[in-house]
Amino acid sequence: MTSGLAIASVFSDFSDGLDFLFHQRESVAGGVQVGGSENLPLLWKHLEVVGLSMLFAILIAVPLGLFLGHTRRGSFLASSISNVGRSVPAIALVLFFSSYLGLELKNLVFAMTLLAIPPIFTNTYVGVRQVDEDVVDAASGMGLSGVQVVRKVELPLALPLVFGGIRTSVVNVIATATLGPFAGVLTLGDPIINASVYGEAGRIGTAILVAGLAVVAEILFALLQRAVTPAALRPPRRGLRDRLASPRLARVADSPT
């Protein structure tokens, strides 16, 4: 009985959250309309933060990763950036820059850019380093300059990993941009943080929206990553019949119950 009531409560909250996304209502304190079309400015600002942060991160991380990977230098730097990116809490960066540089969009974008750089840089560096040295030597032997080797050989072969890093970063930034209100920027994080204004429906509804954006970005960049992967390097697509016929599943099916 108790579990049934809990499930019903969850579905009720979820339904109310979805309703908040599509229909306006009065705020908890009253006097202000929230939800529905009022979410659009928050959505556009959220996407603006994500777009600018990713643009700057790509412009910084990809050239740096290509250069260090091509010259076979910077392995310690790549490892350090990767470790720092995993260990520094996002909210610490946002609060640090907001405290010392002010509550502005550029400071939030700066913090988000720093969070987006490590996966892109690390994947770009590793992707270039993994290119067969014999292929690079052959390209150089054909008279290609260092820049041409990077542009025509190393970058095309490293693109799948580069897009993998971008894919990781964009999902992280979409989720982390909800911290925008701490930097004075009203993103989709505002209803999540300020439930006293938007109510629990606002918190749940915008959380669903942010999760949906992250899922869409994940799928889109997964498709792009597959598209830039050379056909010979793509994992074969296996149909249901092939998966059911795999040795592992066959052993499970044959095992005694």
Mean of pLDDT values over 116-135: 89
Mind giving me the DSSP string for 178-227?
GGGGGGT---THHHHH-HHHHHHHHHHHHHHHHHHHHHHHHHHHHHHHHH
pLDDT at 47 over 90: yes
Quick one: average pLDDT of 72-83?
74
In 3-state terms, what secondary structure has residue 182?
A: helix
Q: Which of the two residues, 142 and 3, has the higher pLDDT score?
A: 142
Please tell me the pTM assigned to this model. Answer: 0.83
Predicted local confidence at residue 253, as pLDDT: 40
Other CB atoms within 10 A of residue 180 CB: 26
pLDDT in the model for residue 16: 81
Name the pLDDT band for 63 (thresholds 50, 70, 90). Answer: very high
The helix (run of H) or strand (run of E) holding residue 25 is: strand 25-26
Segment 34-45 shows an average pLDDT of 91
* Radius of gyration for the chain, computed over Cα atoms and rounded to the nearest angstrom: 23
pLDDT at 254 over 60: no
CATH H superfamily, domain 2-232? MetI-like (1.10.3720.10)
Query: Band of the pLDDT at 250, cuts 50, 70, 90?
Result: very low
Note the pLDDT of residue 27: 83
Can you tell me the distance from the alpha carbon of 92 to that of 236, in angstroms, rounded to the nearest whole number? 42
Which carries the bigger pLDDT value, residue 89 or residue 227?
Answer: 227
Query: Residue 238's pLDDT band (boundaries 50, 70, 90)?
Result: low
Give percent of the chain above pLDDT 70.
86
What share of the chain has pLDDT > 90, as a percent? 35
Query: Confidence class of residue 77 from pLDDT cuts 50, 70 and 90?
Result: confident
Average pLDDT along the chain: 83
Residue 75 has pLDDT above 80, yes or no: no
